[in-house]
Amino acid sequence: MHLVSLGDLILDLVVALEGPLVQGDDRPASTLVGAGGQAANVAAWAAALGAEARFVGKRGVDSAGELAAGELSSHGVEVAGPAVGRNGVVVSLVSDGERSMASDRGSATELVPAELEAAWFACDRLHISGYALHTEPVAGAALRAAELARGAGAAVSLDLSAWSLVDDAFRRRVRQCAPDTVFATESEREAFGPLESAWVVKLGAAGVNVGGVRYAALETEVVDPTGAGDAFAAGFLVGGVELGLEAAARCCAKLGSMP
């Protein structure tokens, strides 16, 4: 299977707190710096699970971009797309099995349709990060990618990404994309409303709901949930719901979003 993902390749700074932050004071923590971003995570997990994988997106030419691209390549993922400007960085604060993120997407939002090459989308599956449909010009590039992939005979999937960013413009772009499969949390699906696609609803520790059938999450030690939904999406697309749940459990049991 050949999977292509489109969206962000960012530098993740994960901070696992040993206690609550105190304003104006210091607290011990464990940290990890590495590649991340929803689309990059899906590609890395797909490669780890045996698929051919390619990431498409715009990344920076700074040290953050070089580090992120190098790590993604080390997972066996082909990195495609222009490198220009400043790379995105996300700070993820992890405490008590939950995470909060502060996101700077850098040059990822500046990808334009003319920068895409049709050969990049000769694949079996194209997976689009919903973040790529939230703003222009990258939204236009995502829609063009869906056209190119379908022209090559590929199925298209989409992750809604964030309920707080769902608005009428986003709904319009998603419907124009017409994904075969949509990944979403319960709050994201509720915020979006009706859509004629196959829904895969991520329920966190409760597992997933696929086509009205509920599957329990696998037992695991939750160290860091960052990227677990992306790992599940990759596993689901490569080998179905059971492989997705296995990948999500593996992801939760360690610090960071990559395999």
Is residue 22 a part of any domain in this protein?
no
Is the pTM here over 0.85, yes or no? yes
Is residue 191 a part of any domain in this protein?
yes
pLDDT at 97: 61
10-residue mean pLDDT profile of the chain (259 residues): values are 96 81 78 90 98 97 94 97 93 73 87 98 98 96 98 97 92 97 96 95 94 93 88 98 97 89
Q: Is the peptide bond before 137 cis (omega within 30 degrees of 0)?
A: yes
Q: What sign results for the dihedral spanned by CA atoms 178, 179, 180, 183?
A: negative
**Residues contacting residue 108 through CB under 8 Å, at least 6 positions apart:** 7, 8, 9, 10, 37, 57, 58, 59, 88, 132, 138
Is residue 130 a part of any domain in this protein?
yes
pLDDT at 223: 84
CA distance 189 to 95: 26
Residue 56 belongs to what domain range? 2-8+36-86+108-252
Is residue 205 a part of any domain in this protein?
yes
In the chain, count H helices and then E strands. 7, 13
Give the residue among 36, 24, 6 at the shortest CA–CA distance from 103: 36
CATH code at 74?
3.40.1190.20
Is residue 152 a part of any domain in this protein?
yes
Number of domain units in the chain? 1
Is residue 169 a part of any domain in this protein?
yes
Is residue 166 a part of any domain in this protein?
yes
Is residue 174 a part of any domain in this protein?
yes
